[in-house]
Structure 1
Amino acid sequence: MKNNTSTKWFIISMMLISANLRLPITMMPPLINSIVKDVGMPQSMLGVLTAIPLLTFAAFSPIIVKIAKKLGNELTIFLLFTFLVIGSYVRVIPSTAALLIGTFLVGVGIDSGNVLMPAVIRDRMPLKMNVGTSLYTLSMLLVGAIGTITAGFLISHTSLKITISVLSSISIIALIFWIPNLKHNEIAHTNGDVLKTYKSVWKQNLGWLITFFFGLQSLIYYSIITWIPSLLISHGIPTVTASNLLTILQLTTLPFAFIVPAMAANDNSMKYLNIMLVLGYIFAPLGFLINTSNIPLVLIFVLLTGVGAGIAFNLSIVFFAKKTTNPYQTAEISGMAQSIGFVLAAIGPILSGYVQQRFQTWSAMIILFAIVATILASISFIISHKDNIQE
């Protein structure tokens, strides 16, 4: 009975932590005009607010793995998540410096959950990893999407300070709920002999394949959500409609938090996931090459692209757990993948914008997406047919 209660509490607290892994980023776009007006931040610097968390993820992911190795996963998440809480409220201070510093602290806190939560789920729910992984990604994506809408509503009825303060209160609740998990904190690999024989994922081909898979899906996703609205507007679709279509794309990814882990548990079903990935991330975006403002037709392309995005992201999380053999190894591959992956994520929108500007057409960017997605699908096929990472 105690174990059941402990597991239920872990699931609730895990979902609360996960809910804060996208929200602090996705709540910011609707606040841009208020940031320029109230904080006085130059328009040219607004892109930095997105780049800072992504680059923070890249820089700190390997460091967080090393900290967790010494302190334990649960304690490391707790300590670094306090940075997220502090950073969230530092952003309330009406100055550009406070906004940048706060965003950096938020990035550090988010990264602790990004890197370590898959390992904690594997450790605490070894027989129900699929369920834990599904709830982890669902909480992250759903609250992230809801946060964008809520931020837009709040900023239109209140102030910038109140909007940030209200949405950031969820992080305080999450931190409090996480405290009971500290009694389960364990330091991995206290046996010196194990450490001597441990083979790092950085030295294994499968580790690099999983890393590139995570990185390429991040590159495509962040590029799409950055530029697709502008592309649709250039086709004659109203700005509000283009924004709503992007929201629909994000919401379409949510069911795959359950579908992908369930199907990935069966090796025979992996081929169907790969086929859906090809349809969603290669052929669907090519539909945007059609210069049309026909909303039903564009909606089909948007929905299929959302399917591709949902499969790609959730497969990367599944690979972290399914292709590793212990919680520390899961944390290490998560840290490795996100370290390199988020560099690609930060480069993606910039590279896409450069290609569009260089060739003066959206077609070049879409074709670039299709090429990268083809490589992504090929890597997924290879990973699914390989054995686990060696210990």
Structure 2
Amino acid sequence: MTSDRPGGWRSRGSTQYFVLLIAVIVFTAAVLRAPFLAVAPVAREIGMDLEVSAAVVGLLTSIPVLCFAVFAPAAVSLVRRGGADFALTVTLIGTIAGCLLRVSGGIALALIGTALMGVFLTVGNIVIPVIISREFSPHRAHTMTGIYTSALNIGTMTVTLATAPLADAIGWRWALASWACFAVAALACWIPLRGLRGAFAPRPAASAVSGTVRGSAWRHRPTLLLSAAFAGQAFAFYGVTAWLPSLLSDEGFSGAAAGAIASIFQVAGIAGSLLIPVLTLRASLSAGFLAAGIGWLVVPLGFLFAPAGWLVWTSIGGVAQGAGITVVFIAFGTLGPDVNTTAGRAGLVQAVGYGVSAAGPLALGGLRELTGGWTVPLLVVLAAVLVLLVCGTLSARMLQAEIAARSSAARPEA
């Protein structure tokens, strides 16, 4: 892949370089979810202090996810025109600004700050996979993607566990603002790694400067199939995450027990994120999609036919959801031969996926109310998982064929 990386303060290839780079990726991954998911543990306090309804407080969580879909094209444009390094700097600074603005006043500033934060987090969603595919060999990129997606889950767990105790000690405003520390830590590693000029100066990718013609992502069949696969993964994940505690409560568990069981689904995702790169490296990308999809199937099928096996279904399903998002992000690195193409196609996948995912909790909740039970919502989850399984596997096979064709074309004739 063509590099758009200027020189930094650290020698590329040195141990120090890669330690800082991995720290940047991990801290950035944590900040891509933590700031807006931290709202849930203190939602009641926010509503009481700002004198707004629970529905309005809910916007502080849902707005960033909608931004992921709406602003993905703008994020792609920033990565192409400013370069991946500049785009990451913008992500981190913009996220810090959004976090601080969100807690600096009433509900209007809270909503504006949340939207601002969502826009910059969208850039981060696009640029981190681009940086991973640029900086690491294909073999190591699989493992690094697993570390990246596991850091997403670890960041989520951290804020879920720590925000409420922090709020009791220092108030909800300071508790929410404190999670900007992930972005500050990432920036503190990023600037020494890239240097002031490398981090802050816009620098378009070389392929953009040379005028390379890029085909539309909408005409690239593997990208469209991967978009459908990610939509299935994201719809199922956000829907199950939102409603699994309620489903368990209807099965007779107390609220506390239901929440604890549901947390297994999230914790197991870390294992899935770290294990799936082993499979994609030793077998293939399509094998990764097959494994993630089949594992995901046990959640709707298990709760439909044997809900008493909740521990098995939540554990296997948790591993599968972590594997599902990781294998999609691994696929991003195979979407194109250069930074611009990869960013454009990955932007389309995320715009479609996050756009569909925003409907997951609403659709499943509405169907639960309409039918009075969980059978129809679980069948919808089953359909979403089948989309992940089928479309992801087909996309992977096409991408693997494209890689083989590019390698063959690049190989000099004897």
Fold shared per TM-score above 0.5? yes
Which of the numbers 370, 373, 377 marks the counterpart of 1:361? 373
CA offset digits 1:206-250 (Å, max 9, x no partner): 110111111111111000011111111111111111111221111
| C-alpha contact 2:50 2:106 (8 A) present in aligned 1 | yes
Partner AA of 1:239 in structure 2: G
1:16 is aligned to 2:32: no
Partner of 1:319: 331
* Aligned 1:361-380 pairs, distance under 5 A: 361-380=373-392
Which of the numbers 233, 238, 262 marks the counterpart of 2:249? 233
1:2 is aligned to 2:34: no
Separation of aligned partners in 2, 1:193 and 1:94: 47
| C-alpha contact 1:188 1:328 (8 A) present in aligned 2 | yes
Partner of 1:222: 238
* Aligned 1:176-255 pairs, distance under 5 A: 176-183=188-195, 184=198, 186-190=203-207, 194-196=211-213, 198-255=214-271
Of residues 324-333 and 222-231 in structure 1, the stretch that sits farther from structure 2 once superposed is 324-333
| C-alpha contact 1:189 1:195 (8 A) present in aligned 2 | no
Which of the numbers 85, 97, 108 marks the counterpart of 1:74? 85
Separation of aligned partners in 2, 1:117 and 1:378: 26
Pair 1:276–1:36, CA change in 2 (3 A): same
Partner AA of 2:11 in structure 1: K
| C-alpha contact 1:276 1:307 (8 A) present in aligned 2 | no
What runs of 5+ residues in structure 2 fail to find an aligned partner?
1-9, 407-414
How many matched pairs?
Answer: 386
CA offset digits 1:323-352 (Å, max 9, x no partner): 432222221122111111111011111111
Partner AA of 1:306 in structure 2: G
CA offset digits 1:10-38 (Å, max 9, x no partner): 12122211111111122111010111111
Deviation at 1:254, TM superposition (A): 0.4
Partner AA of 2:256 in structure 1: V
Separation of aligned partners in 1, 2:277 and 2:334: 10
Pair 1:191–1:244, CA change in 2 (3 A): closer
Separation of aligned partners in 2, 1:268 and 1:24: 35
SS of the residue 1:232 aligns to: helix
Separation of aligned partners in 2, 1:239 and 1:203: 48
Pair 1:122–1:269, CA change in 2 (3 A): closer
| C-alpha contact 1:285 1:305 (8 A) present in aligned 2 | no
SS of the residue 1:385 aligns to: helix
Separation of aligned partners in 1, 2:341 and 2:18: 22
| C-alpha contact 1:116 1:334 (8 A) present in aligned 2 | no
| C-alpha contact 2:335 2:341 (8 A) present in aligned 1 | no
Separation of aligned partners in 2, 1:130 and 1:381: 17
1:33 is aligned to 2:44: yes
CA RMSD of aligned residues (A): 2.2
Partner of 1:331: 343
Q: Normalization by structure 2: what TM-score?
A: 0.87
Separation of aligned partners in 2, 1:210 and 1:275: 13
| C-alpha contact 2:227 2:349 (8 A) present in aligned 1 | yes
Separation of aligned partners in 1, 2:115 and 2:69: 12
Which of the numbers 62, 65, 83 marks the counterpart of 2:73? 62
CA offset digits 1:364-388 (Å, max 9, x no partner): 1001111221122111221222123
Separation of aligned partners in 2, 1:311 and 1:39: 39
1:261 is aligned to 2:268: no
Q: Normalization by structure 1: what TM-score?
A: 0.92
Deviation at 1:182, TM superposition (A): 4.0
Deviation at 1:310, TM superposition (A): 1.4
1:43 is aligned to 2:41: no
SS of the residue 2:402 aligns to: coil
* Aligned 1:246-325 pairs, distance under 5 A: 246-268=262-284, 270-271=286-287, 273-289=288-304, 294=308, 297-325=309-337
SS of the residue 1:199 aligns to: coil
Deviation at 1:98, TM superposition (A): 1.4
What runs of 5+ residues in structure 1 fail to find an aligned partner?
none
Partner of 1:153: 165
